[in-house]
Structure formats: structure tokens, C-alpha cells
Structure 1
């Protein structure tokens, strides 16, 4: 990992934090989320330092990182809202504890991120099989591939799920 000169990041932060925060606050309509994402943007800058050719390039770089973080933020919110909606339809006695909720939401985010890394057809096949319970032949017709390809897609998706499970087990054990 490349070591970043602290003064370079400090100068970038001092020069652009307020601008970035205001940009995010307008985009998110929430000061707390804007502050969090501005902070996360500068953390990413620390992890992937750049050479800049002036203020325009600096702001463009920061805005690009922030845009990606906003998209992730909105996806996470949408996923959480869908889960909370599904949870609200269950009897109160069947609701998980706050700790279980946090684990479930984090696992949903990890699965969503895993699905985003897969090719579109693989992801579609997995969702149709796992969430909608469709048979392979129907999935093939839906996404325009043979039943044999559906089997390959599902094997690929399940391999990614197994890798994700191993990663999560490693995080939970340590």
C-alpha cells in the first residue's frame, strides 16, 4: 500500500471538505448521512492516493468517489426498507432481536454486494431460483438461455455464496 503524505490529504480535506459536505447534504437531504459519506470519501482517498492537477481535478475525483458512495447508500437503504416491510408483515412475536436484526441486515448487504459482482444473467438466475422458486426450464425461458446454462449460472452463484459464507464465518469467528 502506498504511504500518503499527511499534508497532501490534510490540504485536500481542508480545501474541499466543506464543499463536499454541502454537495452530499443537497444530494441526500440529510446532514448526518452527508457527514458520514464525506468522511468515507476521504477515507477512500487515504486508501487510494492520487496525484492531482489542480482544484478542478481534486473536486472531480472527490465527487466521483462520493457519487459511488451515494449509490451504495441508496441501495443499502432500499434493501433495508424492503426487509423492514417484509418484517412488518410478520407477527410481532416472530420479530428478531435487535442483535439478530443487525446481523440479518449486514448479511443482506453482503449478499447484495455479492450479487452485484456477478454477471447479470447469473444474478438473475440465482434470484429467480432462490427467491421465486422457479424451475430451471422456466428460468432459462425468462432470461433467454438453455436449461444447461441455468445450471452453470446457479453453480457459479452458489460458489460465490459459499465464498461469502466462508468470509462471514471468518469474520464472526475472530
Structure 2
């Protein structure tokens, strides 16, 4: 069963990385909303020409957005290829194929995780209290006959004498 969880962790990690790489592509403005590339930064604007400065700043921003979009598209292609590769590997590695799962997740990862879990469980155990049973038996043997209906505690009338019960309990 630990191998199935390693497989699940691997799938989750790949999908998370793919989504993180694809998110900027999905959130980027469409190509028709970008300003044309012909708005290359002008050589220089006059100090008092605000329209020229705005146009130059817009062109710089458009160029940065375009560069980011190209980088995002490249990253998305890489993520898509990674997803395809992992999907192919998972198709080749069916659950229960320990050799193949060792190749994907690393040798002995399931066993190591199982040992780690069991070590934590064993460390959590506390030994039972020592010497507590005799006090409980003594108290039970002292108080038990008084809780029985009249006459049942008498050794001659009781089908199972209380003294015998207490002897079996160790009291």
C-alpha cells in the first residue's frame, strides 16, 4: 500500500508544478490586447513631452509582457512534456510492480516510510502501570460480596464462592 501512496504523491507533485507553470499563460492578456510591436521605445523624448514619455513607457511595458509571455509559453511546453513523460511512466508502472515503483520513487522508499511510521508508533507506546492490578483485585474482593444479594456470599449457599473467585483473580 505505501507504493500506491508514493505514486499518488508523485502524480500530485507533477500536477501542481504543471499548474503553477501554466497559470501565467492562462492569466496573460491575449495577443490581440497587446500593443503592437511597432511601439518600440523612441530614442529620446523632449523633457516636456508627456505623451512621448507615456508612449515610451507603454512600449517598454508591452515588451516586458511579451518577453514574460514567451517565457511562460516555453515553461508550459516543458511542463506539458513532463506531464506526458510521467503519465507514460505511470502507465508502464502498474501498482504492485515493486521494481518499477522503486525506479520511479527510489529504491526502498515504501519500506523506509513504513519503518519510519512504525518507529513513531512504537515510540508513542507507554508501558502499563506496574503493581496496579493487585490493588484493584484487593479492592474488588473486599467490596464485591457486599454488592451481591443476601445469602449469595455465604460459602454454603453460593454456587461459586467469592473466596474462590478472589483466589482466581490473585487476591
TM-score, normalising length from structure 2? Answer: 0.26
Q: Which has the higher helix share?
A: 1
Structure showing greater relative contact order (alpha-carbon pairs closer than 8 Å, 6 or more residues apart): 2
TM-score, normalising length from structure 1? Answer: 0.25
